[in-house]
Amino acid sequence: MLGIARRRLGSGCVLGQLMQALRPAAAASAARTYSATAKEMTVREALNSALDEEMSADPSVFLMGEEVGEYQGAYKISKGLLDKYGPDRVLDTPITEAGFTGIGVGAAYQGLRPVVEFMTFNFSMQAIDHIINSAAKSNYMSAGQISVPIVFRGPNGAAAGVGAQHSQCYAAWYAHVPGLKVLSPYSSEDARGLLKAAIRDPDPVVFLENELLYGESFPVSAEVLDSSFSLPIGKAKIEREGKDVTITAFSKMVGYALQAAEILSKEGISAEVINLRSIRPLDRAAINASVRKTNRLVTVEEGFPQHGVGAEICMSVVEDSFEYLDAPLERIAGADVPMPYAANLERMAVPQVEDIVRAAKRACYRAVPMAATA
């Protein structure tokens, strides 16, 4: 990657000097292979294979962040990549998000395709000026002359026992900003297909993963394992079809929504579960089509309720499908408090399967409305 930068920018430039300073020590070479006949794949493996294949296909793609090289990633997402591609394309950085994010944006200005890893998206706040004021706005402010093909990725949302400062969901934060695309995968298929699409995209993409999903295994088809596979940005997926109530969710909450749908089915309620996949752009057409079929909506997210993703979805349905509604809209979100550290309080602050079940029952008039119990 340094060679490409030097040819395009000149070896004496500040970017080249900064990148040279960030180069880690070379590691021993080792090869990695994936089975084409695999039926199951973890989210960690899906992300790793997507990075590997895109770096192999395009020499302008490189990875940078804290511990991505020698340590092979804080969550082992970059396992084996330093050995395969070397320190010019897998850059271990100092603990300075503002510094290495700025370098990444500058490299994207010059035609490279950086993938910037944050150890947690909570640390992206140190670099938020580069993400919003530089990456997101440069294409518009240059009248289309400057493209910024960069991916900002890492774990987002609540993990377990990491307290208020390391548990925030940034989906609504970044989805508020014109010029950014915001993706949030749930399954291995999502992770692999969406990350490939993000790396190939000409615009900046915020890629919100979930730490608790990295070790989860999902079935994958031969199509998903093909190196040319990618998923379209801006398209949701119907994970489970239903006719009585629509449940929208993203990231880890998709799994909770599917569990809730299974419980509801045993009580005669057929729930349709939509995996949003893309937060910005939002697949409003798919959401409204589902609501026009089920006539009810429950939105689920881990983030704070005020100005959240669920609030935007509800407003979209009110604007486009109000006359189809047979019940008030239901929003399930994290508690409107900083995340508690105590395990029992943490569980109360994050949506649970039973919360989704109760909301769906209220929407179907199968339970006493909350207002009646106040």
Catalytic sites, residue numbers: 97, 166
Cross-strand partners of 238: 274
Instruction: Check if the beta carbon of residue 293 is closer than 8 Å to that of residue 272.
Output: yes
Instruction: Check if the beta carbon of residue 355 is closer than 8 Å to that of residue 332.
Output: yes
Residue with tokens 């299974």: 262
**Closest to 252 measured CA to CA, from 338, 352, 346:** 352
Q: How far is CA 372 from the centre of its chain?
A: 37
For 1, counting Cβ atoms within 10 Å of its Cβ (0-12 exposed, 13-18 middle, 19+ buried), the class is buried
Residue with tokens 């919100």: 208
Exposed e or buried b for every residue in 105-130, given b needs 16+ CB within 10 A?
bbbbbeebbbbbbbbbbbbbbebbeb
Strand order in the sheet with 245-249: 237-240, 271-275, 245-249, 297-300, 330-332
Cross-strand partners of 209: 155
